[in-house]
Amino acid sequence: VSQSRYVCYSSLDEFELHTCDIVGDSKNCIDFINESNGKENVKFYAQHSWDFLRELIAQNKKVDMAWLDSAHTYDYLLREMQFVAQMQVPYIVVDDFWWVRGIQLAVFDFLKEFEDYRFYSYSNNNAQIGSIVVLKKV
């Protein structure tokens, strides 16, 4: 997510980026990034991702893209993707796709369950690290 914050601040005039983590030090990183850019466009929530996504759903929050990079387990990722699909997010980015077999299986099972999503892009910069898959709602 650090890369996405950099890209947003360096290329977009207006944006909101909402991120969550249960690791306390993550807020310090977000504060540093916001202070460095003199803006408050990146919002941090000290929450479990499932709780965070449930709140976004309850608020009927519209999201242009979801970047999923939390627990690297099949069940966890599949549930996150189901929440994101419920929000009708047009693009879903799954980080570390090549790294863990459970991530790959969760993506494939998600695509079976949600036939309105398709593979859009795949990047594998460094074998196990840096691999992402982008799914697009059609």
Cβ atoms of 95 and 68 closer than 8 Å: yes
pLDDT for position 83: 98
Give 60 or 129, the one with higher predicted confidence: 60
pLDDT of 2 higher than 70: no
Compute the half-sphere exposure of residue 94: CA atoms within 13 Å on the CB side of its CA. Answer: 34
- Quick: pLDDT tens for 19-53: 999 987 889 988 998 999 899 999 999 999 999 99
What is the Cα Rg of the chain in Å?
Answer: 15
Rounded Cα distance, 37 and 67, in Å: 21
- Quick: pLDDT tens for 71-90: 889 999 999 999 999 999 99
